[in-house]
Chain A
Amino acid sequence: MKTRLPAIPVAAPPRCAEDVLDVRDLRMRYGKTDVLNGVSFTARRGEVLALLGPNGAGKTTTIEILEGFRMRSAGKVSVLGADPARAGEDWRARTGVVLQSWRDHAKWQVRELLAHMGRYYAPYSTADVTRPWDVDDLLETVGLTPHARKRMRNLSGGQRRRLDVAIGIVGRPELLFLDEPTAGFDPEARHDFHDLVRRLADRQEVTILLTTHDLDEAERLADRILVLAGGAIIADGSAEELACALPSQSEVRWSRDGQRFVHAPDNATVFVWELFQQYGESVEDLEVRRASLENTYMALVRQAEQGAPCGLTAVTA
């Protein structure tokens, strides 16, 4: 059956002097394909923002434009007060990008590489922030102290990813970009990684923009979730706000004469009442479950991609 969802209020982002990110009507077109058609959002200092959406929604394109690695077709973008398409090396020193390493720097030792990358940031030290991050302290923070003298190529996948994070933050960035940070992680590595990201945001006031297609991850890490689908932001709010705004779709399971049934009615209470009216005591094994946020998110995205019949609106600048 078809689920019907009400509109989620998407407030126009207020302009704020403290905004680390300010994106207005960002558009990206490859050939004749519009990948982003009018993305707008802001982020304040110390906020963790998750850009959530299915594959191909434009998450990576958005983050790469903000990183200054990709030119945009149209729209206004301000990152740490500068346009990333034109920003210089001083701006670069204030940002951190966590890249997914593959086989680069294979012969370098962990500590050696981290110390080397840190040297570039030394001139950007200020009275408040000592740059780069002390190498031994950083190794401890990401849990790589026992592997400090290992060569990169001898690290496990999880250890490599922790080093990727360490390289991303060695310059003590004010803003950190993470594109699909936990893709390919085992559950334990994912847990450790989530801890680290939260610590960075809470203790160091780092603003973090991460992309993920994992709602669980977005819920756990982000102060605010932006749902990107079909090249536009279809929802913007904290996990609680999204959950409240989304209808509580429920699932009813029961069996009758040894046969099992599942149904997702609009109003579970009324449906169950009608069920007993009709079949009485022959209804057995009754269960009423609230649908997970994930299912609702899936429905939301599906609907947005099919043309948003229920009044979902993209943010317009």
Chain B
Amino acid sequence: MRADGGDGMNPALAAVRAGLSGGWIELKQILTTRADLVGLLVRIGTLLAVMIWTRQTHLPGTNFSLGTATLASVLGLNFVVYGVVAMGDLLVVEREDGTLLRAKATPNGMLGYLLGKVVSTSGQVALAVAITLFIGVFLFTGLAIGSPGRWLTLSWVLVLGLLATLPVGAVLGSLFPSQRSAGPWWLLLLGGLSAISGIFYPITHLPVFLQWIGQLFPVYWLGLGMRSALLPNAMAAVEIGHSWRHLATFGVLSAWAVAGIVLAPAVLRRMARRESGSTVAARREKALRGT
């Protein structure tokens, strides 16, 4: 009723614009804050070091460099590092410090807030993929990039990967009560998933039941999708079913995306409903006491 007489903009649209610009501002802040930038480069550098270390090792049954294969798989792991863990951790931290409560006190603020997080975390995934790939091209041999079809594969895996991981990250982030309690779980999630998803070593060398568990989660499929976009087609031979399985990749990632997008609003609303000045104050006191 009060929206008329304004500049004619729809309130939800204003929030969408504010959220997008807010996310862009936060992405720029990561690039201009030394600690954040160093953190980003250290994460990328550590994974690159693992690849360099396995550069001379061969992918079992082939004479293809394991390091090059790992490079492609790690691009898929980035979605979990930034899409799930960074997104989830942001929600935990910003619920704790009152950022979320500010969004709640603003008209359509939660919509803008979440969009902002989607922009800033997607940006981080894209940055990590781009930087890793850029350095990788110079350090590793055997990458098969350049054809339009491969760029297309890379693009749809990237977009679907974000859709499959960001909502899941937001849901997980709403479930943890504090950053301290969330920390060990993120590590477990990252370690566990990269171990059973064939990121650093082909999944076909795991016990069959672990292969099945690995294939339930998006990480395996993101790794597979990235390998299909970046490795020579002959390398499909060492995958499960000797195929890149694009249809299955599309199906599983879409299922995760739909599940996350359906679940996230309800879980986030439930989380936001509990926020008030006194809950934030209680957390602050707890944190200051160091308990």
**Chain A residue contacts of B102, Cβ below 8 A:** 99, 104-105, 117, 167
Closest partner residue, chain B, to A69 (CB atom): B276
Q: Is the CB of B276 within 8 A of A119?
A: no
* Cα of A95 to Cα of B106 in the assembled complex, Å: 9
Q: Is the CB of B6 within 8 A of A126?
A: yes
Which one of B14-22, B136-144, B201-209 is at the A interface? B14-22
CB distance from A162 to the nearest CB of B (A): 16
- Do A122 and B14 form a contact, CB below 8 Å, given A92-B105, A131-B6? yes
Q: Is A108 an interface residue (CB 8 A)?
A: yes
CB distance from B89 to the nearest CB of A (A): 15
* Cα of A101 to Cα of B10 in the assembled complex, Å: 29
CB distance from B183 to the nearest CB of A (A): 17
Tell me the B1-56 residues at the A interface (CB within 8 Å): 1-11, 13-15, 17-18, 21-22, 25-26, 29, 33
- Do A102 and B112 form a contact, CB below 8 Å, given A64-B276, A123-B14, A171-B107? no
**Chain A residue contacts of B6, Cβ below 8 A:** 122-126, 131
Q: Is A193 an interface residue (CB 8 A)?
A: no
- A93-B11, A123-B14 given. 16 additional CB < 8 A pairs? A69-B101, A69-B276, A90-B2, A100-B280, A107-B26, A116-B21, A116-B22, A119-B21, A120-B15, A120-B106, A123-B3, A123-B7, A127-B5, A131-B6, A171-B106, A171-B107
* Cα of A121 to Cα of B108 in the assembled complex, Å: 9
Q: Is the CB of B94 within 8 A of A89?
A: no
Q: Is the CB of A90 within 8 A of B107?
A: yes
User: Hey, which bits of chain B sit against chain A, CB under 8 A?
Assistant: 1-11, 13-15, 17-18, 21-22, 25-26, 29, 33, 94, 97-99, 101-102, 104-109, 112, 275-278, 280-281, 284
* Cα of A108 to Cα of B40 in the assembled complex, Å: 19
Q: Is A303 an interface residue (CB 8 A)?
A: no
Q: Which of A107, A120, A125 contacts B109 (CB 8 A)?
A: A120
User: Hey, which bits of chain A sit against chain B, CB under 8 A?
Assistant: 60-61, 63-64, 67, 69-70, 89-90, 92-97, 99-105, 107-108, 112, 116-117, 119-127, 131, 167-168, 171, 179
- Do A104 and B98 form a contact, CB below 8 Å, given A119-B21, A122-B14? yes
Chain B interface mostly: helix
Q: Is the CB of A64 within 8 A of B107?
A: no
**Chain B residue contacts of A63, Cβ below 8 A:** 277
Q: Is the CB of A105 within 8 A of B5?
A: no
CB distance from B19 to the nearest CB of A (A): 9
Q: Is the CB of B18 within 8 A of A89?
A: no
**Chain B residue contacts of A131, Cβ below 8 A:** 6
- Do A112 and B2 form a contact, CB below 8 Å, given A89-B107, A107-B33? no
Q: Which of A90, A104, A121, A167 contacts B1 (CB 8 A)?
A: A90
CB distance from A182 to the nearest CB of B (A): 15
Q: Is the CB of A64 within 8 A of B278?
A: yes
CB distance from B78 to the nearest CB of A (A): 22
Q: Is the CB of A107 within 8 A of B108?
A: no
Q: Is the CB of A124 within 8 A of B98?
A: no
**Chain A residue contacts of B17, Cβ below 8 A:** 119
Q: Which of A94, A123, A168 contacts B10 (CB 8 A)?
A: A123
**Chain B residue contacts of A179, Cβ below 8 A:** 277
**Chain A residue contacts of B11, Cβ below 8 A:** 89-90, 93, 120, 123-124
**Chain B residue contacts of A61, Cβ below 8 A:** 278
**Chain A residue contacts of B112, Cβ below 8 A:** 120
**Chain B residue contacts of A167, Cβ below 8 A:** 102
CB distance from A54 to the nearest CB of B (A): 16
* Cα of A62 to Cα of B41 in the assembled complex, Å: 48
Q: Which of A95, A102, A121 contacts B98 (CB 8 A)?
A: A102
Q: Is the CB of A99 within 8 A of B101?
A: yes
CB distance from B63 to the nearest CB of A (A): 48
**Chain B residue contacts of A99, Cβ below 8 A:** 98, 101-102, 105, 277, 280
- Do A102 and B10 form a contact, CB below 8 Å, given A108-B29, A119-B21? no
Q: Is the CB of A123 within 8 A of B25?
A: no
CB distance from A134 to the nearest CB of B (A): 14
Q: Which of A103, A107, A108 contacts B97 (CB 8 A)?
A: A103
For the complex of A and B, the 5 pairs showing the least CB-CB separation, nearest first, are A69-B276, A125-B6, A93-B107, A119-B18, A104-B99
**Chain B residue contacts of A107, Cβ below 8 A:** 26, 29, 33
* Cα of A120 to Cα of B21 in the assembled complex, Å: 12
- Do A102 and B14 form a contact, CB below 8 Å, given A90-B1, A92-B105? no
Q: Which of A60, A95, A122 contacts B9 (CB 8 A)?
A: A122
CB distance from B13 to the nearest CB of A (A): 8
